[in-house]
Chains A and B, each alone.
Chain A
Amino acid sequence: QVQLVESGGGVVQPGGSLRLSCAASGFTFSHFALHWVRQAPGKGLEWVAFMWYDGSFESYADSVKGRFTISRDKSKETQYLQMDNLRAEDTAVYYCARDYSGSVYYIDHWGQGTLVAVSS
């Protein structure tokens, strides 16, 4: 079955960096786009970033543009989110999520999330 397992979360000081990983299994990784979506404590879902299945297209929310970078390693079937210059408002659970990757965009599978806390 489809599995997405996030890792790399933790506590980091403002201005610091973290790299999140999303290990995929149960499907052909190179055929599917992946998203990152975050949820601050007690708040709603915020879409963060997206990369097309072949890495040819990537997109970011304005709130993270220029600070976060999405990438993927096909050989490891893993997607990454490099987060630099972190701010307190980046504190959230970060979910890796698979896009249907057909002619329409929707998320059909979600990981369980990894918590990032930005605090001094």
Chain B
Amino acid sequence: DIQMTQSPSSLSASVGDTVTITCRASQTISSYLNWYQQKEGKAPALLIYTASTLHTGVPSRFSGSGSGTDFTLTITTLQPEDFATYYCQQGDSSPFTFGQGTRLQI
């Protein structure tokens, strides 16, 4: 099974900052990497798929990059609504494992 490792596990930032979250796969997954945002008490929501493609309606301050085993999610000019937990997930093969999450807090 493919293991997904995110770093950091938590991150403190302020409105207006730029932050980067990293996700590493235990084996190559090409560009089959997805990012989700989860706000407290809510279901997750898709942000980015295939490493860098923004889902419909996702603001352009979110961006993703990477291929193979190393991927990043970058959020520029943080807004108050961006403080949430972020998860990566590999979409290469079943089981479609998630990273452990990165909590972004003020």
Contact = CB atoms under 8 A, between A and B. Distances in A.
Interface of A: 35, 37, 44-47, 50, 59-62, 95, 100, 104-108, 110-113
A13 B101 CA distance: 30
B87 interface: yes
Residue with the highest number of chain A CB atoms closer than 10 Å, among B94, B98, B99:
B94
B46 interface: yes
A62 B94 contact: no
13 contacts: A37-B98, A44-B85, A44-B101, A45-B89, A62-B95, A100-B49, A105-B92, A106-B34, A106-B89, A107-B34, A107-B89, A108-B46, A108-B49
User: Chain A binding site: helix, strand, loop or mixed by DSSP?
Assistant: strand
Contact of B32 (A44, A60, A95, A105): A105
B68 interface: no
Contacts of A112: 43
Interface of B: 1, 32, 34, 36, 38, 43-46, 49-50, 55, 85, 87, 89, 91-92, 94-101
B34 A44 contact: no
A97 B96 CA distance: 13
B97 to A, nearest CB: 6
A113 B43 contact: yes
A105 B96 contact: yes
B43 A110 contact: yes
A63 B52 CA distance: 30
B33 to A, nearest CB: 9
Given A106-B91, A110-B43, 14 more contacts: A35-B96, A44-B101, A46-B98, A47-B96, A47-B97, A59-B95, A61-B95, A62-B95, A105-B92, A106-B46, A106-B89, A107-B36, A108-B55, A110-B44
